[in-house]
């Protein structure tokens, strides 16, 4: 299917944003926007009821501060022989050069925050995974033909209009978009609740679900937190015991007990960008529950979150 209609649509969006913002930059308004609730899709009769899907206002999409329609990864033309024939194309760049170009493009589109060195490391792979998720491609973290084509004409993520600095989480796409100062700053892969039941100490039975709705960062802990099922790195709690946190295990699919996992480097970056009170919007219906609708996951402390640290003793304590 041709991607050109989307290219024209994106150009129109960018033009509207340029007029609205005056200076051609991409900004968001600070006025709050209500979040709508839609019924969830039908599930098998033997499955647990699916929660409603929280859908953000899409009237003011944010875009990375680059022109996504500018092709930068197009293959060079084959060499022309003396007789005017093109013959068989010869390799014109090394694999590392191609990787460096992909890293540069991912940097422009705010998926990558590492060195443009032509080396496929963990940061490059996770950036490719996030990009593939947004584009609706198979998520393998590899540089294939479909990914290269999409990098030339990408689908841009849409986020909730509102605060200039905010976190947007899409459970269905398994992607997080961080907006800082009114611009898309980073687009990162996540892994949220896998929907499976589990047990906590004291005989508590819970489900691995992630809350949807509008929240704020309530507390943050820099460094490591040892919870019941493992270690959380730089956790930022946005609803009771549910946190956005770094992890050594962030697969392309939901795998957590309900928290929102990020690659550790991404979690460290996010921790440096947001503060307590930063708005968090979580949308989607994949292994989710809606606290505002009275839904629960069977616990307020998923995975055995130890809760906030105790208050230090005051001078009046004896």
The domain that holds 124 is classified in CATH as 1.10.101.10
Give the Cβ contact number of residue 192 at 10 Å: 31
Clarify whether residues 129 and 206 are in a common domain: no
Q: What is the pLDDT of residues 30-45, one digit of tens each?
A: 333 333 323 333 333 3
Residue 296: φ, ψ to 5°: -135, 170
Residue 1 CA, distance from chain mean position: 26
Q: What is the pLDDT of residues 201-228, one digit of tens each?
A: 888 899 999 999 999 999 999 999 888 7
Share of the chain above pLDDT 90, in %: 55
Rounded CA gap, 32 and 40, in Å?
Answer: 24
Burial of 128 (0-12, 13-18, 19+ CB in 10 A): buried
Q: Which of 87, 117, 152 is the endpoint of a domain?
A: 152
Q: Which residue range is the domain that position 116 belongs to?
A: 98-152
**For 77-82, what is the mean pLDDT?**
50
Q: Which of 86, 117, 152 is the endpoint of a domain?
A: 152
- 49 compared with 304, residue with greater pLDDT: 304
Clarify whether residues 278 and 190 are in a common domain: yes
Q: Give me 185's structure tokens.
A: 């700053």
Place of tokens 């795998």: 255
Clarify whether residues 181 and 145 are in a common domain: no
For residue 7, tell me if it sits in a domain: no
For residue 148, tell me if it sits in a domain: yes
Rounded CA gap, 102 and 105, in Å?
Answer: 5
User: Which of 19-33, 220-234, 302-316 bottoms out in mean pLDDT, i.e. has the lowest?
Assistant: 19-33
Q: Give me 133's structure tokens.
A: 């998720």
Q: Do the beta carbons of residue 228 and residue 206 sit within 8 Å?
A: no
Clarify whether residues 54 and 167 are in a common domain: yes
Q: Which of 111, 129, 152 is the endpoint of a domain?
A: 152
For residue 81, tell me if it sits in a domain: no
pLDDT above 60 for 284: yes
Residue 193: φ, ψ to 5°: -60, 140
Clarify whether residues 102 and 215 are in a common domain: no
Count of domains observed in the chain:
2
pLDDT value of residue 82: 55
Clarify whether residues 131 and 273 are in a common domain: no
- This prediction's pTM: 0.70
For residue 214, which of 29, 52, 55 has the smallest C-alpha distance? 55
For residue 82, tell me if it sits in a domain: no
For residue 8, tell me if it sits in a domain: no
Rounded CA gap, 179 and 243, in Å?
Answer: 18
**For 302-318, what is the mean pLDDT?**
53
pLDDT value of residue 308: 56
Which helix (H) or strand (E) element contains residue 213?
A: strand 213-216
pLDDT value of residue 33: 34
pLDDT above 90 for 173: yes
- Name the pLDDT band for 4 (thresholds 50, 70, 90): very low
Residue 151, Ramachandran bin (φ over 0: left; ψ between -120 and 50: alpha; else beta): alpha
pLDDT value of residue 11: 41
Clarify whether residues 168 and 294 are in a common domain: yes
Q: Do the beta carbons of residue 305 and residue 239 sit within 8 Å?
A: no
CATH number of the domain where residue 249 is located: 2.40.440.10
pLDDT value of residue 55: 41
For residue 9, tell me if it sits in a domain: no
pLDDT above 90 for 21: no
For residue 79, tell me if it sits in a domain: no
Clarify whether residues 204 and 254 are in a common domain: yes
Clarify whether residues 254 and 287 are in a common domain: yes
Clarify whether residues 199 and 227 are in a common domain: yes
270-308 in b/e form (b: 16+ CB < 10 A) is bbeebeeebbbbbbbbbbbbbbeeeeebbbebbbbbeee
- Name the pLDDT band for 101 (thresholds 50, 70, 90): very high
Clarify whether residues 109 and 232 are in a common domain: no
- Name the pLDDT band for 234 (thresholds 50, 70, 90): very high
Give the Cβ contact number of residue 17 at 10 Å: 17
Clarify whether residues 143 and 188 are in a common domain: no
Q: What is the mean pLDDT of the chain?
A: 75
Looking at the DSSP assignment, which residues form a beta bridge with residue 205? Answer: 199
β-pairing, 166-170 with 279-283?
parallel
For residue 250, tell me if it sits in a domain: yes
- Name the pLDDT band for 200 (thresholds 50, 70, 90): confident
């Amino acid at each position: 299917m041709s991607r050109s209609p989307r290219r024209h649509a994106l150009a129109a969006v960018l033009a509207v944003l340029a007029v609205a913002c005056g200076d051609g930059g991409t900004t968001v308004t600070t006025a709050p926007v209500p979040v709508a609730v839609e019924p969830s899709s039908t599930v098998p009769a033997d499955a647990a009821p699916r929660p409603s899907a929280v859908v953000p206002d899409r009237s003011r999409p944010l875009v990375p501060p680059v022109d996504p329609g500018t092709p930068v990864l197009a293959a060079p033309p084959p060499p022309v022989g003396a007789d005017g024939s093109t013959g068989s194309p010869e390799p014109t760049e090394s694999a590392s050069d191609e990787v460096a170009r992909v890293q540069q493009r991912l940097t422009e589109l705010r998926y990558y925050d590492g060195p443009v060195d032509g080396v496929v490391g963990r940061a490059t792979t996770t950036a490719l995974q996030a990009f593939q998720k947004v584009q609706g491609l198979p998520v393998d973290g590899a540089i294939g033909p479909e990914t290269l084509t999409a990098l030339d004409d990408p689908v841009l993520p849409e986020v909730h209009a509102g605060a200039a600095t905010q976190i947007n989480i899409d459970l269905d796409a398994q992607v997080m978009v961080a907006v800082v100062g009114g611009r898309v700053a980073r687009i990162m892969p996540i892994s949220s609740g896998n929907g499976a039941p589990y047990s906590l100490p004291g005989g508590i039975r819970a489900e691995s679900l992630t809350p949807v709705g509008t929240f704020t960062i309530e507390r943050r802990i820099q460094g490591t937190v040892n919870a019941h099922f493992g270690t959380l790195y730089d956790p930022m709690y946005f609803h009771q015991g549910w946190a956005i946190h770094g992890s050594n295990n962030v697969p392309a699919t939901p795998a957590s007990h309900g928290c929102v996992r990020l690659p550790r480097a991404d979690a460290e970056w996010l921790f440096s960008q947001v503060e307590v009170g930063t708005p968090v919007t979580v949308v989607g219906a994949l292994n989710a529950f809606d606290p505002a609708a009275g839904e629960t996951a069977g616990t307020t402390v998923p995975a055995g979150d130890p809760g906030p640290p105790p208050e230090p003793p005051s001078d009046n304590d004896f």
